Chains A and B, each alone.
Chain A
Amino acid sequence: MSRRVVITGMGTVNPLAHDVEGTWRALLECKSGISKTELFDASTFPSTFSAQVKDFDLSRHVDNAERHATAGRHCGFAIAAAVQAWKQAGLADCDRLDAERLGLYLGSGEGSLDFDNFTSLLVDAWSENQVDTREWAELALDRMDLWREIEQDSNMVVAHLAAEFGVRGPAFNVLTACAASTQAMGEAAMQIRYGDAEVIITGGAHSMIHPYGVTGFNRLTALSTRNDEIESSSRPFDLTRDGFVLGEGASVLILEDYDFAVARGADIFAEIIGFGSSADAFRITDQDPAGDGAADSMRAALEDAGLEPADIDYVSAHGTGTQQNDQVETKAIKQVFGDLAYKVPVSSAKSMLGHLIAAAGATELITCVLALRDQVLPPTTNYHTPDPVCDLDYVPNEPRQAKLDIVMSNSFGFGGQNDTLIITHPS
């Protein structure tokens, strides 16, 4: 019998709140984290709004914020979220934790480019319809800052958290696009099951609310452009959905070997009992329209957990609000659940949080843990016009009491990498 894996701490910084309970309250009050983009002048972009983290100040979360002075925006979020999770887990006072048995497994995104310097170089070194690399190098080596550059490497968030908590165990970062933090949590759970570590700090962080991030997604026509109805722009599963809303944030969970957690008297919030990973292997631009890849991921998680679809009481959907995702995910749920698909409630917290990209899955798993705790389903807001091809129970517009024992959370990445987690009560 392999080791059991439990969640003993959680933390988050997201567009709704800078802590777990505040986030949960906002979700149950159907608040929207979406507003006009203020991080840069997006007024002429096809999408002028986003789900931004507001008024973030790392020094309110840590005593030694200056130690992390070089951290990029998403890295600051991650440090704050991790400190919350660490405190909740009570690990600061745990003297039986061997640093070599403490790991990190994050799904963190890249840091944002030094936009002004980077872009002005493309203008200043532009010559005869190409970059004069000779001139570019001269200017770049003079203008670019070591730390701004290095903090863009996606493993630097791991480095900051390792410093904060004295980690000497396995330390990974993965970046499977929008599935990254779900993948990270799943792989971290596998490491604990295997015995690589007793405790792993896991989750994800990302901010793509910068000119090139919005450019990239706007060019892919993936974002909502409902500029005149900003607050209700994120409409997962609704017929009028027109794309996802770009968000940012970080969520961190403490995963722990069950026996270790029990021995130290830790509070256990949930147990991870199933993980599935798959690939669509279809196209880089489109999901497999039949939903096979997404279904494979859910089936793999069920198999890992030794469960049947009938055991699942709730599905926290990837539910981005793009025409394609919501249609494909609905099909995939039907493939896996058969007739039961119409009975199992499915909702998308992205209707309120926006899409936190690499950080989405971890943030959504936290909502699953709280749903289990409070026996209540977070709703899909902005759901008003049913789509004939998306005909499941999406928990529209208001939270709902429900008897929940086992819940499933999906994340699907651009390019076709899919991940699913299944969690249950601590009991």
Chain B
Amino acid sequence: MSPNVFSSQLSRRNLLRGSAVGLGALAVGPTLAACSGGGDDPNAPAGIDDVPKIELGPPRTDITYPEGYIGPRAHDRAPFGDGTTTFRVVVPQDATNVGDWATNATSAEMERRTGLKIEYVPVLVRGTDGSIDMTKINAMLASGDLPDAFLGIPFTTAQLSLYGQQGLFVALDDYIETYAPMTRQAMAEYPDLRGLKVSTDNKLYTMLGVNDCYHCRSSNNRAWISQSYLDKVGGTMPETTDDLRELLLEFKNQNPSGKPGFLPFASSESTPIDTYFMNAFTYNPGNPGGNRTGGWLRLNGGTVEFVANTPEWREGLRYLHQLGQDGTLTRAAFSMKDTELQQNGNKGLVGFARAYWWGSFFNPINLDMDEPWRDYVAVPPLKGPAGVQYTGWDYYGYYTDALQITSACSNPELLVQWTDHMMDLEATMWTYAGIKDDNWSFDNSGKGINGKSSLFANKLFPAPAGQSWGQYAVMYRSSDFRLGEKVDPSAPTFEAGLYEAGQAYEAYAQPKEMQLPPLIIADADAAAVADTATAVTAAVKTGLAQFSLGELDPNNDADWQSYTDQFTAMGIDAYLQAHQTAYESRPA
């Protein structure tokens, strides 16, 4: 660690000691002010006083962009660091893709581009089930063992808000205003971006990254069907819920695979099926995941409402109940392990699958043209009996974990510039795909994923360990950028196939006003809301399985009544009210 950084920590420690005895606070005041950032009116960041605003020059002319391209561009930007200060940056450990951060090729490239020396501190942030495990990060924060910054660490917005207001993280609006032209461009091109990460005090305690994955916007709502099995039973692509019911019965009766154990309908325990089916009855956002807002909540004219106890939901349950009575929707769809689903897929036993992608029901999977997964095509959203046809479209899922600067950092402006350089087109390519020309190159000779002219071509992706930063950098991967990847028509990649699948859903996306954006629940309510969310999640999942499998009957009013009553008992009203308050008071 450099003397510079060290002295700043010493003075902070002095301050703590000083304030305890009422001495010494004045002497270190200026150092602190330099770190915490100024600006009284957060709605219009004032920038840093007396520092000229950094603007991007004209983009490099050697790269041809597709028509109407919105996203990162390559600029010649001079290094700004002189190498005298080394910054400690905590990063996720990932031996498979990143390897050793210290000797990684992209780490060297970033130092060359910026002149900034970084000491990477890798930390494992995943538990053995792939879930987020912040044990070590929390220990570092709680014990005052602060690095200069965190990069790619999965803090929730609630944590950012909390740590920011405790003074652990530096507010960055003014720094971005002065030092980060590429970030400003991303914020202008993605107007919602800041709002997705801003804290309850309307300050931004994180840099902003974009990874706008087109197909991920509908990924929780996709279903797949085997084209060859469909042809074999003489069926056509189902368009309505009734079509699908008929088709599943055909699958069940004719068994197009000819093998025992065929699954007309397949899914696994980690895959919710309500996101696909219920959207034929009412807009159902499902339960998009742990660090987002609570499940099955949507907006109705600005009012937060719960979906899973509505009459439309009951209609949906009636339909699933029918499938259960037909014997096409079985217990296996709720309880099958992910690996079992993959084994069934490998054996050709899957007819219709509700799954994230082909890899959910094939393992191993590769890009050969004769691979069986290529037989499975996306099933567009179904039209329900009342004509409802939605797909849960995620308008807000494109932000990344980005970078947070801590109060231990003596020169936040340097790390802000470092981050901003990372969002340059060429740097973004480096961080995610590794060594230029070996793994990728700029290439406008072909068609991109979206059919426009291509921007770049990947020769080797993912990069071998030690070359790229995986997905942990502060990227600016706009939708146009991602879809500018050149497609080899003779061997389309997964991303190309998923783009096509995503297109089948976009037309049915719910209006944006219906999706509840990510919210930060006030501290006072947070624990109660989390408890209710857990109870609600369990109740909805159990109810879905019980009604579908015939343990409860959706046509029986008593069953339905007791199902809906349990939500009242769980305190759904207070739960909704907490979300409503958070929604209305969120910084605009």
A, B co-complexed: no
